[in-house]
């Protein structure tokens, strides 16, 4: 249940769990992402995806109501396409300008902004019945060699900067 089956190309979802009928745990269908449902062109039964504003665009408004409305709209699309988990929103703090994913994150360069905005985005997503999965865990600040890079950050910086949005 914690690992799932990974990408399920025939289904249009990026992950799934089988659930456990005996324990009354339903199966879960997970899909990207932080900007809304990512439809795969080869899987036509999901149709198209809405082009939602990026997390960084929503963050730039500093409007918590807008973040909640954004989350509600994405959650509604996920429900309509059968997904039960949204792999998003994204909320890392942007520390490396060249990071290929800064556009996804509700924090921008401000951990307090991320903290305040993500709470509303998650409330919006989850009020539709979809599980929000905030990502990516702290210090995901670069795409190049992201699975092999070692980042050394002192404890104070971790608590005052990186952990705040989470």
What pLDDT score does 18 carry?
83
Phi, psi angles (nearest 5°) of residue 16: -155, 155
Q: Give the C-alpha separation, 17 to 25, whole Å.
A: 10
pLDDT tens digit at each of 166 positions of the chain = 777 777 766 667 888 888 889 999 898 989 888 888 887 666 555 677 888 999 999 999 999 999 999 999 999 999 998 899 999 999 999 888 887 788 999 999 999 999 999 999 999 999 999 999 999 888 887 777 877 888 889 999 999 999 999 9
* SS3 call for 85: strand
Q: Give the C-alpha separation, 35 to 99, whole Å.
A: 17
Q: Give the C-alpha separation, 129 to 72, whole Å.
A: 10
């Amino acid at each position: 249940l914690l690992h799932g089956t990974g990408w399920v190309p025939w289904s249009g979802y990026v992950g799934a769990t089988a659930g456990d009928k005996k324990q009354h745990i339903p199966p879960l269908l997970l899909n990207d992402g932080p900007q809304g449902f990512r439809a795969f062109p080869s899987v036509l039964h999901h149709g198209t995806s809405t082009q939602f504003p990026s997390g960084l665009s929503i963050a730039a408004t500093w409007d918590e109501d807008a973040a909640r409305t954004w989350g509600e709209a994405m959650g509604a699309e996920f429900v309509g396409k059968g997904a039960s988990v949204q792999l998003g929103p994204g909320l890392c703090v942007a520390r490396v300008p060249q990071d290929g994913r800064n556009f996804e994150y509700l924090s921008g360069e401000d951990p307090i902004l991320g903290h305040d905005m993500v709470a509303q985005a998650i409330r919006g997503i989850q009020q539709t019945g979809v599980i929000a999965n905030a990502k990516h865990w702290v210090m995901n600040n670069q795409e190049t060699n992201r699975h092999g890079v070692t980042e050394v950050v002192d404890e104070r910086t971790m608590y005052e900067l990186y952990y705040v949005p989470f």
